[in-house]
Amino acid sequence: MLTRLAGGRVIDPQNGRDAVGDIFIRDGRIVDAPPDGTADETHNVSNKIVMAGAIDVHSHIAGNNETMGRLLLPEQRYASDVVHPGHAPQPWGTWNTFETGRIYATMGFTTVVEPAVLPHQAIQTHLELADIPIIDKATLTVLGNDDFLLDLLHRREGPDAVRDYVAWTLATSRGFGIKVINAGGVAAFKANLRAFSLDDEVPGYGVSSRTIMKALQRAVHELQLPHPLHVHCNNLGIAGNVETALATIAAAEGLPLHLAHLQFYGYGREGPRGFSSGAARLAEAVNAAGSVTVDIGQVMFGQTVTISCDVLRQFNARNRAHPKKWMICDGDSNGAGIVPYNYRVTDFFNAVQWAVGLELFLLTKDPWRVFFTTDHPNGAPFTAYPDILALLMDRDLRAEWISRLPKEAMAVTTLTSIAREYTLTEVAIMTRAAPAKLLGLKDRGHLGPGALADVAVYETDTDKAKMFRKAALVFKSGQLIVRDGAPLHDAYGRTLSVRTERERAIERRMRDYYEERYGLSPDFMTVADAAIGRPESFETIPCLN
């Protein structure tokens, strides 16, 4: 069947297209216009905006830690209770896998990356992802605080061994890429260190955070994984940590490196409270480092819960929990820290954090290297996305928000001086074309012939939050799945994972290691298709070249 989306404004930056025209869909793919222009089914989308389905590169939507968050906070609801425009939060009972897929799809998102899978818990993550309808998913496997890697580096075994181990871990956990979270810092916390920076060494191993990160960056690069090493830096959330982020950017040394939720590292020590925005310096460094990409982790005001494998950071943050309860788990490699938190409009620090995120969005010049995230749910639930897009696209709206925030907080940022407004084309780059490129997914993020027919159609509206909250139409793999902002039914997407070449010797070595260290076969952590219980739940993506 040939489907035609007729007469919409098609914004497809990957293919240099921004014009009124048609899109044709056949067998789940975008196709060229047929010679006679006729279709079996036509949707009139005149006066509407047509974009590829949006892609989220960093959102904690599944896994043991997310579910422990749900169990810790039965009172938590999706959607931050934002100060403006003050829409109502979702009802209780919606922070679950099914609503996650539906709400994402309603906003026009069709692919989401769960960025923190501990190898031993990968089966649960994949089971949860399989219960998220509509959207496609991918996962990043977390390494960098695991004994095997730290010991390899301690014994200076060299890059081949690291590469084989990374490939083995990706295969057992069915990951798409590799993430490192406070490299070495979580292992150091187990040895009772309470602070850890880029050049600090993990007790007992004598390897620094920098050594761990560089080894993983190299392994990811040499394996030619489609997504570069995804880094959660040291010292998250601490005044003065802009220096850590700057040092980490410099450590990229020209190789691809993705820095996650940069907002949480954008803090200087200036001003009367010793806490200020370091966003301008940070954005300048990002602008200058062409191999570095960043996502923001924007903060929005309201109750949320922070969920992180950075156990050290979460332990140090536990006394600021709101409500006053938390869960900290020393895991097998990284672990879990779940700390509920309320970002308040009247709070100096929270207002600075909000401004830092927006500054980073607005001062990073290249929309192909800055990505749209809240680090869901850490900065805000992903349901706050439409409001953030509106803030980026409308400086008057920003001014209105700023007028409600503590003046002394705004004074230690540059936000009030920034006039830039994101265009729809820049939004399409940041949320579609660029993430597809960052993930190496050639058939996503654009609307050229051959692309997967993931398409979002929005009403044109001066209220950008309203426009992006509920898409007029969303197609997933060619199937109409959302109409007038409401999901029509639950189809199930797939989880993307990579296939790498690896040596068979690592298999035997890992079996021996698991027997010796844990008295167990590593089979307990191996994600098999049959365990997931939904047919064709995986799609394999090749490595680059």
**Within 439-498, which residues bind another protein (CB under 8 A)?**
none
545 binds another protein (CB under 8 A): no
- Side-chain half-sphere exposure of 399, counting CA atoms within 13 A: 8
Q: What is the spatial distance between Cα 371 and Cα 374, in angstroms, rounded to a whole number?
A: 10
Instruction: Candidates 15, 94, 287, 414: give the one binding another protein (CB under 8 A).
Output: 94
The minimum distance between CB 101 and another protein, in angstroms, equals 12
Count the neighbouring beta carbons within 10 Å of the beta carbon of residue 329: 16
- Which lies closer to another protein via its Cβ, residue 2 or residue 329? 329
* Contact by Cβ (8 Å): 414, 37: no
The minimum distance between CB 230 and another protein, in angstroms, equals 23
- Which lies closer to another protein via its Cβ, residue 297 or residue 331? 331
Stretch of residues binding another protein (CB under 8 A), selected from 207-215, 318-326, 400-408, 440-448: 318-326
- Which lies closer to another protein via its Cβ, residue 63 or residue 177? 63
- Which lies closer to another protein via its Cβ, residue 407 or residue 489? 489
97 binds another protein (CB under 8 A): yes
* Contact by Cβ (8 Å): 162, 229: no
User: Scanning the structure block, which residue is given the tokens 């020393």?
Assistant: 330
**Within 9-68, which residues bind another protein (CB under 8 A)?**
62, 64, 66-68
How far CA 299 is from CA of 63, 90, 333, 409, in Å, comes to 22, 18, 28, 14
Q: What is the spatial distance between Cα 227 and Cα 436, in angstroms, rounded to a whole number?
A: 10
**Site size with another protein, rule: CB under 8 A:** 57
Beta strands 17-26 and 29-31 are: antiparallel
Instruction: Candidates 34, 274, 450, 533: give the one binding another protein (CB under 8 A).
Output: 533
SS in 3 state form for 17-83?
A: EEEEEEEEEECCEEECCCCCCCCCEEEECCCEEEEECEEECCCCCCCHHHHHHHHHCCCCCCCCCCC
The minimum distance between CB 18 and another protein, in angstroms, equals 40
Residue type, 475: F
| Burial state string for 49-72 with b = 16 or more CB within 10 A and e = fewer than 16 | bbbbbbbbbbbbbbbbbbbebeeb
520 binds another protein (CB under 8 A): yes
- Which lies closer to another protein via its Cβ, residue 15 or residue 526? 526
**Within 157-216, which residues bind another protein (CB under 8 A)?**
189-192
Stretch of residues binding another protein (CB under 8 A), selected from 25-33, 69-77, 216-224, 408-416: 69-77
- Give the tokens for residue 310: 């950075």
- Which lies closer to another protein via its Cβ, residue 16 or residue 74? 74
**Within 108-147, which residues bind another protein (CB under 8 A)?**
120-121, 123-124, 127-128, 131, 147
Where on the chain is the footprint of another protein (CB under 8 A)? 62, 64, 66-68, 70-74, 91-99, 120-121, 123-124, 127-128, 131, 147, 189-192, 315, 318, 321, 324-332, 335, 517-520, 523-528, 530-531, 533
